Amino acid sequence: MPAAFDVSGVWVGDDGAIYYVRQLPDDSVTWAGFHDSGFHLGTRFTNVFQGHVAAGQATISGNWIDVPRGENANAGTVTFDVVLTPDGEPRELKRTSETGGFAPTIWIIENGVGPRGPQDIGDLAGKVQRYDVALGENNPPCRDFTVMWGTIGKVGFPKLPPTPDSYCSFIGDSWDGDGDIVFDLTPDFGRIEPDFWTSAWVNRTFEDPVAVAGGFGFVLRPANEHVLWLFDRFRRFHCELPMFGRENGESECNDPPSVLLPGWFEEEGNSILANGRPINGVISQQTDHRPRDCMDPPYLDIVFNLGPAGKQIVELRSCDVVRVTGVVADDAGHEGDTAPEIHPVYAVDVVQDFSDAQRLTNPHVNLTGVWHANDVGTYYVRQIDQAIWWLGLSHDQGRLFANVFQGTLSGQIIDGAWVDVPMGAEGSLAGGSLTIYCGNERATQMTKLAGDAFGASTWIKLYDRDA
């Protein structure tokens, strides 16, 4: 007999995390748990769980595992009791046992937190303050949560405010600069979103010059046609990683930060991510004179020291392949005489060079890492022995879909099942079986063999990550 209660919903744990929980009719329970770290959830830790309600009891037991989105790499079991209201509705979850160091002891249903609704990029960009005007005024947004692959061209180190570690200096001092990390990107249209030019564009028009008899006139174009017009002229996108993404004006510069969009000088989940980890204001530059086919020397690299103790090194280098996530925008500050922009950039992933011979012979290399799929989602995969887990998030940070998979690797085949969790207010809620082929010797490609209900069919590894 099915349980008389349903724990599906959004729960808040006493570990500072949000848990998106789904209970199915067979009384299986799945969740995705994210540290509530800001704009990007889960930068400290992200875990997934699959378990089952004990027959005739208000108790749930199962297995949990950290996926490579945060800093933790633990796994184990957990059991918890479901505390019900007098009306029989779940009110609280209380942990009764755990292994592997699972931290939370109590979860409260919702507590003012619900599924993530749509993001209004026009409203947010209109409130974020630059050193001179609002971000939305200087860079009107055209398309949010865009995912674009491409090759880096010229890289530019930011010009910093007079007092680099002071937001009051950034917003209040009179200085000629904006603190943005910048680079040019030549897009790879073989990997662009299938409906990039036709869907998800902001409803706004732009006045573009056109040749007419006897001189020049103007034509109104919708955002997608305007960006295409700019791209046809410049053949590249200009990517900008802003220093701050705050609503605070000059008079509120000492107030607690009201961060609306990520900035590279912000902290944790409010920071821009490089290879999945917050930049947290730590950058350096170096000049690299190694020959590169796509640029003339000298080459400026920007180096990020990421993760615990800054041990993960990520470089932005000319000629490298990257995946960029952010807002396609116009550069109104230069009156349409520049390339279209991705501004702000939310995250940049430098695609790993998997041709390293040492990696091919490394016995510890497996499927663990961060993957891009042809549904434009990001998949955080963890392999322990033959057990395969993942958390899959849509390009809009899980609003469209967020799924958890658990399967077993046998030879070159993974067999398992996936479940959507209620992360997005209008997101998918499906599930089913899935069979995947992962015969690539470098553990960098996967292909769906069976599981028609699942949207993605191919996966490409972005980079290895220690679990």
Residue ranges of alpha helices (H) inside 111-221 are 121-127, 135-138, 167-172
Question: In this structure, are 416 and 302 located in the same domain?
Answer: no
Q: Is residue 450 part of a domain?
A: yes
Question: In this structure, are 319 and 424 located in the same domain?
Answer: no
Question: In this structure, are 168 and 307 located in the same domain?
Answer: yes
Number of domains in the chain: 3
Question: In this structure, are 337 and 387 located in the same domain?
Answer: no
Question: In this structure, are 183 and 267 located in the same domain?
Answer: yes
Q: Is residue 2 part of a domain?
A: no
In whole angstroms, what is the distance from residue 200 CA to residue 451 CA? 27
| Residue where a domain stops, chosen among 327, 350, 373 | 350
Domain coverage including residue 414? 357-464
Residues of the chain with pLDDT under 50: none
Question: In this structure, are 268 and 381 located in the same domain?
Answer: no
Q: Is residue 293 part of a domain?
A: yes
- pLDDT value at residue 305: 93
Question: In this structure, are 191 and 339 located in the same domain?
Answer: yes
Number of other residues whose CB lies within 10 A of the CB of residue 343: 24
Q: What CATH code is carried by the domain that includes residue 392? A: 2.40.128
- pLDDT value at residue 297: 55
Question: In this structure, are 301 and 404 located in the same domain?
Answer: no
Question: In this structure, are 190 and 338 located in the same domain?
Answer: yes
| Residue where a domain stops, chosen among 350, 375, 404 | 350
In whole angstroms, what is the distance from residue 370 CA to residue 368 CA? 7
Question: In this structure, are 104 and 148 located in the same domain?
Answer: no
In whole angstroms, what is the distance from residue 248 CA to residue 179 CA? 16
The model's pLDDT over 130-175, given as tens digits with 9 standing for 90+, comes to 888 899 999 999 999 999 999 999 899 999 999 999 999 999 988 8
H or E stretch at 463: strand 458-464
Strands 458-464 and 369-373: antiparallel
Q: Is residue 116 part of a domain?
A: no
Number of other residues whose CB lies within 10 A of the CB of residue 90: 21
Pick from 239, 247, 285, 281: nearest CA to 264:
281
| Residue where a domain stops, chosen among 50, 75, 109 | 109
Question: In this structure, are 187 and 251 located in the same domain?
Answer: yes
